[in-house]
Amino acid sequence: MLSVNAIHTYYGISHILFDVSLTVSKGEVVGLLGRNGAGKSTTMRSIMGLTPPKQGTITFNGQEITGKKAYLLVRDGIAYVPDDRRVFADLTVEDNLEIPFSRSNEWTKERVYDLFPALGEMKSRRAGNLSGGEQQMLTVARALMTGPELLLLDEPTEGLAPLIVRDLEQQILKLRDAGISILLSEQNVKSALKLVNRVYVIDNGRIRFEGTVAELEANEDIKKKYLMV
């Protein structure tokens, strides 16, 4: 469904991604693992059209989407959860959920509140006053409101307490069961491996490994070198 083919991405003149290729098939949860500064967020931003690649192509459902504007990609069915939790801080939780473009009525506020009951209890709270974990739930909920086929989840567990991470893992599994394909970037290898079908390991802007969870588990070399586990 998503296919990234040999992209090169730059911030200004600094070359960040080198020849990055990856695919996500329908119904799959694919992990993108790497340490700080490896290029995970840049890969996500490249796909989402926020930092378009200078070379290479990206296709989604058979159509080329390289360089397409982010708001149009949302309408095509891609949703994005950034790593830095950009909730609309001045607005209430409810308003945060009302802003997204809704491409299908499959995901309603009620359904999102069902998935994240905590949010349902603070509908009129200012989003900027939520805790880190609540803000993270809100960014996922907000992305769901667009009714995505593919969810780009950039380090959802970053900085969250272990208990909240466990909750979030459950919710991600529910999304997978609801038929949403997910590209999940993580530093937290242990958490990620519980959720994904396949993994890519990225380091210094290059894909260093691709394979199944079992293959990665068996590859001590890659784990030591790029993931520090």
Partner 1 sequence: MDIISFICSPGVLCQVLVGLSRTVILFIVASGLSLILGVLRIPNIAHGSLYMIGAFLAFSVSKAFGGGITGYWMAILLAPLIVAALSFIAERAIFCRLYEREHIMLFLLTFAFALIFGDLVKLVWGAEYRTVSMPRFFQGSIPIFGLPFPIYNFFLLFMGPLVAIMLWVIVNKTKMGKISRAAAVDREMVGAVGINVSMVFATVFVIGCYLAGLGGALVAPIVNVTLGMDHTLIIEAFLIVIMGGLGNIWGALLGALIFGVTQSLGILIWPQFGIIFPYAAVIVVLSFRPTGLLRSTW
Ligand X SMILES: Nc1ncnc2c1ncn2[C@@H]1O[C@H](COP(=O)(O)OP(=O)(O)OP(=O)(O)O)[C@@H](O)[C@H]1O
Label residues 155-186 b or e (16+ Cβ within 10 Å = b): bbbbebeeebbeebbebbeebbeeebbbbbbb
Shortest separation between residue 7's beta carbon and ligand X, angstroms:
13
In the block, tokens 């290898």 appear at 189
Of 58-66, 93-101, 183-191, 202-210, which part binds partner 1 (CB under 8 A)? 93-101
Residue 142 binds: one of ligand X, Mg ion, partner 1, none (C-beta under 5 to 8 A by kind): partner 1
The least distance separating partner 1 from the CB of residue 12, rounded to whole angstroms, comes to 13
- Cα 76-208-50 angle, rounded to 5 deg: 30
61 binding partner 1? (CB under 8 A): no
The amino acid present at 175, given as its one-letter code, is L
Do strands 55-60 and 2-11 pair parallel, antiparallel, or not at all (unpaired)?
A: antiparallel
Choosing among partner 1, Mg ion, ligand X, none, which partner's interface includes residue 36 (Cβ < 5 to 8 Å by kind)? ligand X
Q: Which does 200 bind (CB under 5 to 8 A by kind): Mg ion, partner 1, ligand X, none?
A: none
**Nearest-10 crossing angle of helices 162-177, 132-144:** 10
Q: Which residue is nearest to Mg ion (CB)?
A: 41
Task: Based on the shown chain and the rule CB under 8 A, indicate whether residue 106 belongs to the binding site for partner 1.
Answer: no
Taking the least distance from each CB to ligand X, the nearer of 41 and 181 is 41
Min CB(228)–Mg ion separation in Å: 16
The item of ligand X, Mg ion, partner 1, none sharing an interface with residue 42, based on CB under 5 to 8 Å by kind, is ligand X
Q: Which two tokens stand for residue 139?
A: 């960014």
For residue 92, the tally of other CB atoms under 10 A from its CB is 16
Residues in 35-64 at the binding interface with Mg ion, rule: CB under 5 A: 41
Please state, in angstroms and rounded to a whole number, the distance separating the CA atoms of residues 155 and 5.
22
Pairing type for strands 206-212 and 198-203 reads antiparallel
37 binds, among partner 1, ligand X, Mg ion, none (CB under 5 to 8 A by kind): ligand X
Interface pick for partner 1 out of 1, 70, 173, 193 (rule CB under 8 A)? 70
Closest approach of Cβ 85 to Mg ion, in Å? 12
Our finding on whether 141 is near partner 1 (CB under 8 A) is no
Closest to 146 (Cα-Cα) out of 185, 91, 96, 215: 96
Q: Which does 16 bind (CB under 5 to 8 A by kind): Mg ion, partner 1, ligand X, none?
A: ligand X
